[in-house]
Structure 1
Amino acid sequence: MSRRAYVVAAAALAASAVAVALRTREARSQHPPLGRLMEVDGVRLHYLEAGSGEPIVLLHGNGSLIQDFAASDLVRLLAQTHRVIVFDRPGYGYSDRPRGRSWSPAAQAELLAKAAARLGAERVHLLGHSWGTLVALEWALRRGDGVRSLTLASGYYFPTPRLDVVLASGPAVPLLGDLMRFTLTPLLARLAWPGLLRKLFGPAPTPKQFREVPRALVLAPLALRASAEESAAMIPAASALTERYRDLDGPVLIVTGDGDRIVDHRRQSRRLHDLLPQSRLLVLEGSGHMVHHLEPRRIAEAVLAQTRPASA
């Protein structure tokens, strides 16, 4: 490559970096924190609260944030009878993700359980979506007495070959990944956004309310690193959990869409249901991965049924 080509490439990367920085700053200006900020173990966490009563904690998936749940109507429905707490998991939205620490599902579960306890929610009903199910499972397994019921939606529970995981892990690579996520990766991700939504929501169309989810915050450099790290950790995390599922105690609700294009519901949700005799399985016909957007009322009703005493 000639010297001029190097100069042109460097200039293009610099221009991309400026564009990404401006877009991220604009997104933060247009979409300030929905809730409050707290610090736990040196990590700033953003959380949203609604309603009153027994607490239900919602944990979003990979590449997501609080607005994903807030826009879906699930928060409003649950908050009619319960106190709902939604966290931006570390690295997403307005929550930090310091380097040099483990951000495994277990580490996140410990941190978020401490945060919930700080808010006076020591015993909770727990709902995790997608990658958030791994955190929810670790929370329930490590702090079983503190989890009244567990809802797992669109989860990945058993290790399987996943080419998409390898491709999505690029921004986690030191140096080169850092360079890309501050320059080209957010721009390329914007171009791929429509196709990603079709995969996430298909076979159903993307609902209008998903427009409330700020794309620029989802594609911010820190969020891209968090997403890539979690993509790389997904298969090992599921593998580490596989032999521990039988240790789960208490009610478990497993929710899946039969049209999920991200995870195979038969090899994941149905298999987990077969493994857990105390579990209930809710299969939503015609729904894809984003079940909380596509069937929020049915999910809310199923979650609330979990919260009632067995004799009720």
Structure 2
Amino acid sequence: MAALAVLVSGCGALIDARATARETAFETEFPPTGQLIEVNGTTVHAHVAGRGPDLILLHGASGSSRDFTFDLVARLQDRYRVIAFDRPGLGWTDPIGPQTQNPIAQAEHLRAAADQLGVRDPIVLGHSYGGAVALAWAMRAPDRTRALVVVSGATMPWPGDMTGWYAFISTPLGDRVGPPLLTAFAPLSLGDRIMAGIFAPQPVPAGYADHIGVGLAARRGSYRANAAQITQLRPYLRAMAPGYPRLTLPVEVIHGAADTIVPPDIHALPLSDALPDAALTILPGQGHMPQHGDPQAIVDAIDRAAARAPR
């Protein structure tokens, strides 16, 4: 590691130049699909489609709103006004300083963007990390949130410690060395292999890799923001979890039985037990991405949440 640090220091200018060139190419290839909103001096990206009751979509780690615009938005926009946000530090939404890794601050920031769009009493869906942000949204604005849908949600403090890449990049050396080298040199095929693991046991849908824009997640700032969010999530969940029983709004908790990334027995089951008005659906054979593996199940969960929630 010391030798690698010396090498990176000596070649820093060349590595940074190559990383900057690749970032420019990634951003040119995958521009914003929606509108850019200014919130407290920062930019928030929102993809808005359809008409009807407001439905907020919050993506998971390493992702962006493109995860939802690939397929799910088209299934919903005939009867909802769908607003898919990029979370802070990811996609085309700016980081929010030291609060970028705070799911509660993320929820407040995105709710301010939603206010500018005239959103009132939305159903809020969060996938994976976005599930924590959705819960924080409702906890901070319980009287202005109609219902929640938590899909594969990382919502409960889990046992054990981070290992591998996320443990390394959270160190000063990892933060200095990892993102520049990956942005400058990592082949996009690495993203394909990572996606295959995230989708397992389901395959990655045809065309998904071309739509999602893996290069957006491969930018130095996105690497750092995503790693900070993942490695620092657990303390926020410890603080949030005692408040879950006070959330009386309808919540649809939906999770794949074969999810090994966010296991349902650690997250979905105790979450549904803690919430006063939760309906739990475990999808047999589904992994971490049921919005692609079984999208109709997610649409049905949203419609159930809408039916259960008062106007």
Q: After TM superposition, is the score higher than 0.5?
A: yes
**Alignment match, 1:90:** 88
Instruction: Tell me which of 118, 121, 138 is aligned to 1:120.
Output: 118
Alignment of 1:22-101 (within 5 A): 22-71=21-70, 73-101=71-99
Separation (CA, whole Å) in 2 of partners of 1:131 and 1:300: 19
Asked whether the equivalents of residues 256 and 291 of structure 1 are also in contact (C-alpha less than 8 Å), the reply is yes
Separation (CA, whole Å) in 2 of partners of 1:193 and 1:310: 39
Instruction: Tell me which of 116, 123, 128 is aligned to 1:130.
Output: 128
Shift of 1:288: 0.8
Give TM-score, length-normalised by structure 2. 0.90
Shift of 1:272: 1.5
Q: How many residues are aligned here?
A: 309
**Alignment match, 1:290:** 289
Q: Secondary structure at the match of 1:97?
A: coil
Q: Deviations over 1:84-115 (max 9, x none)?
A: 00111111111111434454111111111111
Shift of 1:253: 0.3
**Alignment match, 2:103:** 105
Structure 1 runs not aligned, ≥5 long: none
Shift of 1:291: 1.3
Counterparts in 2 of 1:193 and 1:6: CA distance versus 1, 3 Å: closer
Shift of 1:241: 1.5
Shift of 1:236: 0.9
Counterparts in 2 of 1:222 and 1:245: CA distance versus 1, 3 Å: same
Give TM-score, length-normalised by structure 1. 0.90
**Alignment match, 2:273:** 274
Asked whether the equivalents of residues 169 and 231 of structure 1 are also in contact (C-alpha less than 8 Å), the reply is no
**Alignment match, 2:253:** 254
Judge which range, 252-261 or 298-307, deviates more: 298-307
Asked whether the equivalents of residues 248 and 275 of structure 2 are also in contact (C-alpha less than 8 Å), the reply is no
**Alignment match, 1:223:** 222
Identical-residue share of aligned pairs (%): 32
Separation (CA, whole Å) in 2 of partners of 1:163 and 1:21: 33
Counterparts in 2 of 1:101 and 1:299: CA distance versus 1, 3 Å: closer
Counterparts in 2 of 1:8 and 1:88: CA distance versus 1, 3 Å: closer
Separation (CA, whole Å) in 2 of partners of 1:117 and 1:216: 30
Separation (CA, whole Å) in 1 of partners of 2:189 and 2:9: 22
Counterparts in 2 of 1:9 and 1:310: CA distance versus 1, 3 Å: closer
**Alignment match, 1:243:** 242
Q: Deviations over 1:16-51 (max 9, x none)?
A: 333322221111111111011111112211111000
Counterparts in 2 of 1:303 and 1:37: CA distance versus 1, 3 Å: same
Q: Name the Cα RMSD after superposition.
A: 2.6
AA in 2 matched with 1:182: P
**Alignment match, 1:157:** 155
Judge which range, 287-296 or 96-105, deviates more: 96-105
Asked whether the equivalents of residues 74 and 296 of structure 1 are also in contact (C-alpha less than 8 Å), the reply is yes
Asked whether the equivalents of residues 59 and 127 of structure 1 are also in contact (C-alpha less than 8 Å), the reply is yes
Shift of 1:170: 3.9
Separation (CA, whole Å) in 1 of partners of 2:196 and 2:174: 29
Shift of 1:172: 4.7
AA in 2 matched with 1:93: G
Separation (CA, whole Å) in 2 of partners of 1:171 and 1:189: 19
Asked whether the equivalents of residues 256 and 284 of structure 1 are also in contact (C-alpha less than 8 Å), the reply is yes
AA in 1 matched with 2:18: A
Structure 2 runs not aligned, ≥5 long: none
Shift of 1:267: 2.0
Judge which range, 273-282 or 184-193, deviates more: 184-193
Separation (CA, whole Å) in 2 of partners of 1:307 and 1:161: 34
Counterparts in 2 of 1:174 and 1:164: CA distance versus 1, 3 Å: closer
**Alignment match, 1:143:** 141
